[in-house]
């Protein structure tokens, strides 16, 4: 059973093949994993297979990669085919935990990692006689978010109560500002090609933000089958920000990009701390389709008319889940309509790894939340002065960061700028800035070109060299592993050619392992500084190498095989004193000796 399929079937891939090929991929991972504890040699896994069926692993991998590409192409083609007939419309709604120390309506702390039910005020448990105490400070991150999303902030907004019964909601009602008076509305978010929007959306697409709301989180419940539920009220009343976009998105990839962008903006402006990966942000999407070129649909949402009946998919917890769920729901709706059925307005769910959305609740509007103005919480009056102060102190927006990082001052590529901004909730970028600042402070008054070169080099080291070490060691980001000053010193030495590239990498690895001596001291003590070889020494090294391989020298000379010069450079570096042979100088000497020119 656990065996690669013969090549023949792979060619027969069609739309239905998705579930067929997928187990193969899973199987491979499974086999490698399961073989690890008992056999350390990777080749041993293939010996499990009977000889007659034996397929070399490399070949097998190639086949599977090919199958995967075919499947992707197939999927893309069928997506494109259906897109020509059907237009997809998606709106996004996200809930993100605001970065506040206190809860929305009590002074209890918001810390998520504490013992269950240790950060709970009487009001959080809806004790009789307790009252809400609105924590004005929670408003600041929410306002920053509204500003970063270009919203109009209402001078007066109101807290409404929303009612429903569930065990994770202690009061049976939650007080939150709800329609008709959200505290901010009419904003927008711009998505660029580098944000990962679908190709058909071009270079830029603008998605309007309908409204931004303050809400409070529910308790965490944990099921203990058959009949127990454990409730942790630490999370209750944790302030949430709810952002609702207009239904203006027409591709699954762009919907996922939109949520990713919203998360990046919310993190960059200091409104939220944790993203989707840690459960700090959840997304709902509403999905409808309509046949192109036909009379417009009868439904309208948020003032956009002519849409098909929409469904809502709740609680998507990863960007991939957003994209996959929308594709699945779109295909389900197409299948329903193509078979003559009617799409019901309902709430649906999505399980990671599944291929279909599943029905959760019936018709939209069936839940009547019975909104009521909260008599215990006065209306929120937000002054112009507060808004303008927050505007003035808002951190740089991600789009602006991209412009700056790819600009003349830093000179990074867009491929490097994006991950720098997004990695580790912005901590990587902060670290990068620290390194650049440190580089500038080492040699104040450098010219712009040198500064940019240093900044670009620092970007490479922060992202790739340091990133590689982290990946290899499977460690989480921590700015203390390599102090910013150490990395700056390293880059500085490298740039001034006081050490070689290999030495720099070697030193970085040593620091990564916990050697925290200052870099100059380490270079000195460990004798790592480059002591340049003399011309005579280079000549001697080159001549030795040439004497050992006269036929290669001849090939270079007669056939002009210049690529082989590099092999000689490598030879010189291996035979010469470690860390002292500089490749460019070695090549220069070789050219002179072999080709006779400088």
Partner 1 sequence: MSLLREAERCLANQHAHNLNAFITPLSRSGQWLDRVKEADQRSEKGTPKSAIDGRLISIKDNICTRQLPTTCASGILDKFTSPFNATVVEQLEGAGAVIAGKTNLDEFGMGSHSVHSRFGPVKNLRRDSAGHEISAGGSSGGSAVAVAAEQCYAAIGTDTGGSVRLPAAYTGTVGFKPSYGLISRWGVVAYANSLDTVGILGTNTSNPFSTTTIPATQPVSPNPHDHEFSPSYKPPPLSTRLTSKPLRIGVPLEYNISELTPSVRTAWLLSLAHLQKQGHTIHPVSLPTTKHALSAYYVLAPAEASSNLAKYDGVRYGTRADGPDGNGQADGVLYSNTRGTGFGSEVQRRILLGTFSLSADSMDNYFIQAQRVRRLVQRDFNDVFSAQHPLFDAQAAHSDSVGAGASAGAEVDVIVCPTAPSSPPRLSDLTGDSEKSSPLDAYVNDVFTVPASLAGLPAISVPVTVAESSQDSGADAEELAGIQVVGQYGDDELVMSVGELLAGNRLGEQ
Reported as type and span, the H/E element at residue 154 is: none
* Phi (first) and psi of residue 541, to 5 degrees: -65, -45
Asked if 166 touches partner 1 (CB under 8 A), the answer is: yes
Q: Does 131 bind partner 1 (CB under 8 A)?
A: yes
Nearer residue to partner 1 within complex by CB, 161 or 451? 161
The nearer residue to partner 1, 105 or 461, going by C-beta atoms, is: 105
| Of residues 28 and 231, the one with the C-beta less far from partner 1 | 231
User: Cα separation of 423 and 415, whole Å?
Assistant: 13
Distance CA 19, CA 418 (A): 34
Paired tokens of 425: 């909730």
Preceding amide of 226 cis, omega within 30: yes
Binder to partner 1 among 9, 101, 111, 167 (CB under 8 A)?
167
Residues 376-435 that bind partner 1 (CB under 8 A): 376
CA distance 223 to 231: 9
Q: Which is nearer to partner 1, 217 or 582 (CB)?
A: 217
Selected binder of partner 1 within 8, 226, 303, 375 (CB under 8 A): 375
Q: Closest CB to partner 1 among 128 and 514?
A: 128
Query: Using CB under 8 A, which residues numbered 230 to 269 contact partner 1?
Result: 231
Residue 133 touching partner 1 (CB under 8 A): yes
Among 122, 414, 449, 595, indicate the residue that binds partner 1 (CB under 8 A): 122
Asked if residue 165 binds partner 1 (CB under 8 A), the reply is yes
SS3 227: coil
Could you give the angle at the alpha carbon of 367 between the alpha carbons of 365 and 371, nearest 5°? 95
Question: Which residue's entry shows tokens 């008076």?
Answer: 181
Q: Does 215 bind partner 1 (CB under 8 A)?
A: no
Nearest CA to 266 out of 394, 136, 418 is that of 394
Binding characters for partner 1, 73-112, by CB under 8 A (x = yes): ----------------------------------x-----
- Residue 225 found at the interface with partner 1 (CB under 8 A): no
Handedness of CA 162, 163, 165, 167 (dihedral sign): positive
129 near partner 1, rule: CB under 8 A: yes
Q: What share of the chain is helix, strand, coil (3-state, %, to 5)?
A: 45, 15, 35
Size of site (CB under 8 A) for partner 1:
27
State the binding string over 452-491 for partner 1 (x if CB under 8 A, else -). ----------------------------------------
- Residue 359 makes contact with partner 1 by CB under 8 A: no
Closest CA to 31 of 7, 14, 55: 55
Contact 443, 459 (CB under 8 A): no
Q: Is 592 in the site for partner 1 (CB under 8 A)?
A: no
Nearer to partner 1, 161 or 348 (CB): 161
Q: Does 224 bind partner 1 (CB under 8 A)?
A: no
Q: Is 304 in the site for partner 1 (CB under 8 A)?
A: no
Instruction: Indicate which single residue of 173, 232, 323, 399 sits in contact with partner 1 (rule: CB under 8 A).
Output: 173
Q: Which is nearer to partner 1, 147 or 219 (CB)?
A: 219
Q: Which is nearer to partner 1, 95 or 163 (CB)?
A: 163
CA 60 to CA 596: how far, in whole Å?
A: 50
Map 278-311 to HEC letters. Answer: HCCEEEEEEEEEEECCCCCCCEEECCEEEECCCE
Structure tokens at 263: 């998360």
Angle at 15 between CA 14 and CA 19, to 5 degrees: 100
- List residues near partner 1 by CB under 8 A: 107, 122, 125-131, 133, 161, 163, 165-167, 170-173, 231, 365, 368, 370-372, 375-376
């Amino acid at each position: 059973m656990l065996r690669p399929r013969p090549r023949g079937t792979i060619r027969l891939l069609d739309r239905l093949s998705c579930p067929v090929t997928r187990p193969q991929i899973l199987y491979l991972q499974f086999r490698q994993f399961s073989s690890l504890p008992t056999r350390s040699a990777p080749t041993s896994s293939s010996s499990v297979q009977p000889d007659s069926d034996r397929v070399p692993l490399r070949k097998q991998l190639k086949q599977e990669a090919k199958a995967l590409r075919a499947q992707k192409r197939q999927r893309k083609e069928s997506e494109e085919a259906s897109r020509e007939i059907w237009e997809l419309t998606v709106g996004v709604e996200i809930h993100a935990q605001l970065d506040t120390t206190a809860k929305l309506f009590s002074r209890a702390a918001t810390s998520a990692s504490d013992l269950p039910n240790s950060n709970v005020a009487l009001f959080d448990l809806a004790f009789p006689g307790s009252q809400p105490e609105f924590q004005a400070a929670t408003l600041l991150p929410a306002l920053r978010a509204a500003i970063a999303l270009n919203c109009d902030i209402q001078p007066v907004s109101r807290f409404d109560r929303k009612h429903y019964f569930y065990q994770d909601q202690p009061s049976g009602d939650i007080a939150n500002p709800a329609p008709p008076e959200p505290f901010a509305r009419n904003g927008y978010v711009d998505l660029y090609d580098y944000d990962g929007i679908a190709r058909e959306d071009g270079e830029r697409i603008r998605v309007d933000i309908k409204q931004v709301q303050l809400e409070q989180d529910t308790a965490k419940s944990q099921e203990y089958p058959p009949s127990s539920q454990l409730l942790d009220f630490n999370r209750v009343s944790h302030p949430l920000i709810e952002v609702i976009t207009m239904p203006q998105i027409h591709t699954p990839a762009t919907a996922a990009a939109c949520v990713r962008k919203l998360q990046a903006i919310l993190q960059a402006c200091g409104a939220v701390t944790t993203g989707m990966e840690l459960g700090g942000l959840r997304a709902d999407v509403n999905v409808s389709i309509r046949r192109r070129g036909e009379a417009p649909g009868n439904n309208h949402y948020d003032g956009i008319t002519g849409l098909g009946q929409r469904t809502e998919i709740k609680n998507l917890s990863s960007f991939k889940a957003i994209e996959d769920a929308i594709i699945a729901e779109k295909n389900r709706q197409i299948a329903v309509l193509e078979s003559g059925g009617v799409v019901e307005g309902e709430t649906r769910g999505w399980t990671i790894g599944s291929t279909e959305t599943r029905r959760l609740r019936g018709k939209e509007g069936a839940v009547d939340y019975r909104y009521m103005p909260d008599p215990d919480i006065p209306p929120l009056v937000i002054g112009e002065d507060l808004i303008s102060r927050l505007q003035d102190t808002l951190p740089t927006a991600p789009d602006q960061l991209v412009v700056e990082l790819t600009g003349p001052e830093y000179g990074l590529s867009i491929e490097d700028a994006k991950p720098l901004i997004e990695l580790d909730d912005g901590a990587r970028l902060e670290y990068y800035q620290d390194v650049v600042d440190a580089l500038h402070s080492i040699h104040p008054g450098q010219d712009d070109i040198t500064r940019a070169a240093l900044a670009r080099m620092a970007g490479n080291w922060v992202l790739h060299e340091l990133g590689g070490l982290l990946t290899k060691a499977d460690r989480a980001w921590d700015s203390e592993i390599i102090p910013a000053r150490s990395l700056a010193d390293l880059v500085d030495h490298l740039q001034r050619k006081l050490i070689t590239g290999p030495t720099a990498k070697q030193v970085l690895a040593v620091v990564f392992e916990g050697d925290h001596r200052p870099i100059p001291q380490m270079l000195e003590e460990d004798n790592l500084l480059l002591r340049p070889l003399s011309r005579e020494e280079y000549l001697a090294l080159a001549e030795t190498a040439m004497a050992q391989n006269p036929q290669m020298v001849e090939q270079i000379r007669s056939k002009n095989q210049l690529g082989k010069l590099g092999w000689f450079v490598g030879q010189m570096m291996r035979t010469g004193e470690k860390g002292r042979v500089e490749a460019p100088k070695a090549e220069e000497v070789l050219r002179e000796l072999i080709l006779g020119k400088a």
